[in-house]
Amino acid sequence: MWSYEKKLQYPVKIARPNPKLASIIISQYGGPDGELAASLRYLSQRFAMPYPELKALLTDIGTEELAHLEMIGSIVYQLTRNLNEKDIKEAGFDAYFVDHTTGIYPSSAAGVPFTAAYLQSKGDVLTDLHEDLAAEQKARTTYDNILRFCDDPDVKDPIKFLRQREIVHYQRFGEGLRIAQEKLNSKNFYAFNPSFDK
């Protein structure tokens, strides 16, 4: 189904390790509004999407989110490579290190492991598209929050790129919602469905 080009969507070249920063950026890997949840949400929702152009939209964005997951993993890895015991302790990275060393593990910044409970897939066109719009805004906000704590230009640059992609995805899902509303008619558009008036 996919053609995979073996390079990151946007370059990640971080010169200085910073485990403290890694411990908050990991949230975009496996946190509630992170890239893993986004990719699985959209790639799951597409099966029940009745409109081919919207199924294609979910596939496109879902696979791009996998590319973003790869970027976040690269950022976290580069921020935690070659650490010594003193760096780990001083950065408060010791709790993560004890469980995962410097392996990339899907969790939130609070240390909560990834869960499928982060996903929503209802099989209802309007519900799923509204969920997707909200998800992109929550991811953008998380990137905004990460940027508040980041002063390394090597890290800020790819994070800003990822933040911008959330905005683009939000816009594309907005276009998708308009397409869906045009295709729905009074028999299946919930706001006008007479079966709910009984």
Output the pLDDT for position 83.
Answer: 92
Please determine, for residue 184, whether its predicted confidence score (pLDDT) is greater than 90: no
Render pLDDT for 58-106 as a digit per residue (tens, 0 to 9): 999 999 999 999 999 999 999 999 999 999 999 999 999 999 999 999 9
How many CB atoms are closer than 10 A to CB 45?
26
pTM, two decimal places: 0.91
State both tokens at 11.
């370059």
Render pLDDT for 127-159 as a digit per residue (tens, 0 to 9): 999 999 999 999 999 999 999 999 999 999 999
Residue 91: phi and psi, rounded to 5, are -85, -5
State both tokens at 183.
């295709």
**Cα 16 from Cα 152, distance rounded (Å):** 8
Those residues whose C-beta lies under 8 Å from the C-beta of residue 176, and which sit 6 or more positions away, are: 53, 54, 57, 129, 132
Q: What is the DSSP string of 78-147?
A: HHHTT--HHHHHHTT-HHHHHHHTT----B-TT-PBP-GGG----S-HHHHHHHHHHHHHHHHHHHHHHH
Render pLDDT for 1-13 as a digit per residue (tens, 0 to 9): 667 778 999 999 9
Please determine, for residue 191, whether its predicted confidence score (pLDDT) is greater than 70: no
Render pLDDT for 22-72 as a digit per residue (tens, 0 to 9): 999 999 999 999 999 999 999 999 999 999 999 999 999 999 999 999 999
Those residues whose C-beta lies under 8 Å from the C-beta of residue 103, and which sit 6 or more positions away, are: none
